[in-house]
Structure 1
Amino acid sequence: MQKANPIGVFDSGYGGLTVLKEIVQRLPEYDYLYLGDNARAPYGNRSFDTVYQYTLQCVEWFFEQGCSLVILACNTASAKALRTIQQNDLPEIAPDKRVLGVIRPTTEVIGSFSETNSIGVLATNGTVASNSYPVEIAKFFPELNVFQEACPMWVPLIENNEHQSPGADFFIKKNLREIFQKGKDIDTILLACTHYPLLKDKISEYLPAGVKLISQGEIVANSLADYLERHPEIEKLCSKNGERSFYTTDSPDDFDNHATVFFGEAVRSQHMNLETDCR
């Protein structure tokens, strides 16, 4: 009988911790293993093939740790790597394991928030270039108008602890102005990057009255709970001791200092060596 092991949660860096935070609140009984590929972050401006190769390498590491279920808590990895991994790699390397992303759960519900049938998507260059959100949203809400805006400065601002600075205000106002120029009837804004919830209060200051601001963490957490209920064959392979482990491909000290801000509590991580541990 296969041993139960943690649910894997992957991100290129820190942003996935905002998703893990919501997942832990929703499903605290499970064990979680988090990996941030900080040594190769950010993924947002990298090519599709590079993101795919990096993501697959780390997914295989999760499988080596015994994880039967891995969540790509990263929009760029979900956009550029998930489909290929699900369709081409899993049948060959791990047909009994599952890899899920953050885009599908979000696109299944995002249309229910809008009354004008116009939403804005704020994301990294990579996620916008992939066109994943308009394509996936159209499957569930074909009547919805989707306007995208890349916000390339937001992640660096957050990771350099400048997200409360006047510089952050400048870029937030700039990107919001540009997306509302594209769609004047937008009444819902989706933060399609897991870093962006750290800017939520500041973004709210500059939104027009009545515009809803949606982040993904709670949506993904609820979707995961539903998935586990519908797939008992996977759920029984997920261990339940309420434990959380954190790994980074870069400096654990640096990771821990930043991760606390994203996760909302102290984090103690370990280093994962890409050359020896992640093949």
Structure 2
Amino acid sequence: MQSTMPIGVFDSGIGGLTVFRSIVEKLPAYDYVYLGDNSRAPYGNRSFNTIHQYTWECVQWLFKQGCPLVILACNTASAKALRTIQQKDMIANYADKRVLGVIRPTAEVIGNYSQTKQIGVLGTTGTVQSESYLIEINKFFPDVKVHQQACPLWVPLIENGEYNKPGADYYVQMYLAQILAQAPDIDTLLLACTHYPLLQDKIQQHLPTGIKVVTQGDIVAESLSGYLTRHTEIEQNITRTGTRHFYTTSDDTQDFDKHASMFFASEVKSEYTSLR
């Protein structure tokens, strides 16, 4: 690890692997390290301070692995920790490194998907309460009205392998009915949690015709590609041997690998880390 300078990809658990998969497909030549903080997941209902603390610990661990750039492939961490990390934590000791999130790249383009200018955002309780999407989308698309809905039962549904079973339909319909009740003219739904793409087929099945469902993986991958093109001082330091290492803070790596392979759409072999 010390001889490489990979791109770091962080998530509170395994959901970020849907974004990581898109990044690897778009930019396969680079070296990568993925870290899932599974022992402390989920982050969605934790406080701002706790999420910041956990996220910063994981970012520093990735820096120690040689990563000059870290992607927070987690909406909750991006919403509740990224700004403090960028504007405070990194200034003293990590001025030569960068940390990016998934919210801003999504906000920069999501308005282009909507004809009615009515967008629904489905996310964790933490992401919704932060109002990060309301703030960021308004910067780029002030004429777009954003409606939010927390879906706290979707992540445990997915992580317990129930997302493709008949019992999931009730909970999918429940939250969709709540978001559509806010504004019947919504024509675009953003899945603002990296777990939710696994429910995409069921979500689409229970939506009226004409409503687009947008996931973040390809958006973030395209944004990262552009970022690296613009910031050669970062890009030139990233090594390119096509290696991918997976780490988890859970001591049950076999369980992580089983679920991670489902999210990453190919076999995953992970190692345990205590973050020390």
TM-score by length of 2: 0.98
Amino acid at match of 2:225: A
User: Secondary structure of the equivalent of 2:167?
Assistant: helix
- RMSD over aligned CA atoms reads 1.0
The CA distance in 1 between the partners of 2:14 and 2:219, in whole Å, is 19
Partner residue in 2 for 1:242: 242
Amino acid at match of 1:51: I
Partner residue in 1 for 2:101: 101
Partner residue in 1 for 2:204: 204
1:3, distance to aligned residue in structure 2 (A): 6.8
Q: 1:96 to 1:227 in 2, by over 3 A?
A: same
Q: Is the Cα contact below 8 Å between 1:255 and 1:269 reproduced in 2?
A: yes
Partner residue in 2 for 1:59: 59
Superposed, 1:129-208 pairs within 5 Å as 129-208=129-208
Q: For each residue in 1:10-36, what CA deviation from the matched residue of structure 2 results, as whole angstroms up to 9, or x when unmatched?
A: 000000000000000000001110000
1:4, distance to aligned residue in structure 2 (A): 5.2
Partner residue in 1 for 2:75: 75
The CA distance in 1 between the partners of 2:185 and 2:237, in whole Å, is 46
Partner residue in 2 for 1:118: 118
Identical pairs, percent: 62
Partner residue in 1 for 2:16: 16
1:45, distance to aligned residue in structure 2 (A): 0.2
Q: For each residue in 1:107-151, what CA deviation from the matched residue of structure 2 results, as whole angstroms up to 9, or x when unmatched?
A: 000000000000000000000000000000000000100000000
Partner residue in 2 for 1:253: 254
Partner residue in 2 for 1:272: 273
The CA distance in 1 between the partners of 2:184 and 2:253, in whole Å, is 44
Q: 1:3 to 1:232 in 2, by over 3 A?
A: farther
Q: Is the Cα contact below 8 Å between 1:68 and 1:234 reproduced in 2?
A: yes
1:166, distance to aligned residue in structure 2 (A): 2.2
TM-score by length of 1: 0.97
Q: Is the Cα contact below 8 Å between 1:123 and 1:192 reproduced in 2?
A: yes
The CA distance in 1 between the partners of 2:93 and 2:165, in whole Å, is 46
Amino acid at match of 2:158: I
The CA distance in 2 between the partners of 1:144 and 1:36, in whole Å, is 34
Q: Is the Cα contact below 8 Å between 1:68 and 1:97 reproduced in 2?
A: yes
Q: For each residue in 1:254-277, what CA deviation from the matched residue of structure 2 results, as whole angstroms up to 9, or x when unmatched?
A: 100100100000000000014xx2
Amino acid at match of 1:149: Q
The CA distance in 2 between the partners of 1:111 and 1:25, in whole Å, is 25
Q: Is the Cα contact below 8 Å between 2:4 and 2:31 reproduced in 1?
A: no
The CA distance in 1 between the partners of 2:3 and 2:153, in whole Å, is 43
The CA distance in 1 between the partners of 2:244 and 2:34, in whole Å, is 8
Q: For each residue in 1:200-232, what CA deviation from the matched residue of structure 2 results, as whole angstroms up to 9, or x when unmatched?
A: 111110111011100000000000000000000
The CA distance in 2 between the partners of 1:260 and 1:227, in whole Å, is 28
Q: Is the Cα contact below 8 Å between 2:75 and 2:193 reproduced in 1?
A: yes
1:167, distance to aligned residue in structure 2 (A): 2.1
Aligned length: 274
User: Secondary structure of the equivalent of 1:42?
Assistant: coil
The CA distance in 2 between the partners of 1:112 and 1:228, in whole Å, is 23
The CA distance in 1 between the partners of 2:93 and 2:216, in whole Å, is 29
Amino acid at match of 2:33: L
The CA distance in 1 between the partners of 2:167 and 2:36, in whole Å, is 26
Q: Is the Cα contact below 8 Å between 2:70 and 2:99 reproduced in 1?
A: yes
Unaligned runs of 5+ in 2: none
The CA distance in 2 between the partners of 1:190 and 1:239, in whole Å, is 33
The CA distance in 1 between the partners of 2:162 and 2:273, in whole Å, is 28
Q: For each residue in 1:47-69, what CA deviation from the matched residue of structure 2 results, as whole angstroms up to 9, or x when unmatched?
A: 00000000000100011111000
The CA distance in 2 between the partners of 1:61 and 1:4, in whole Å, is 15
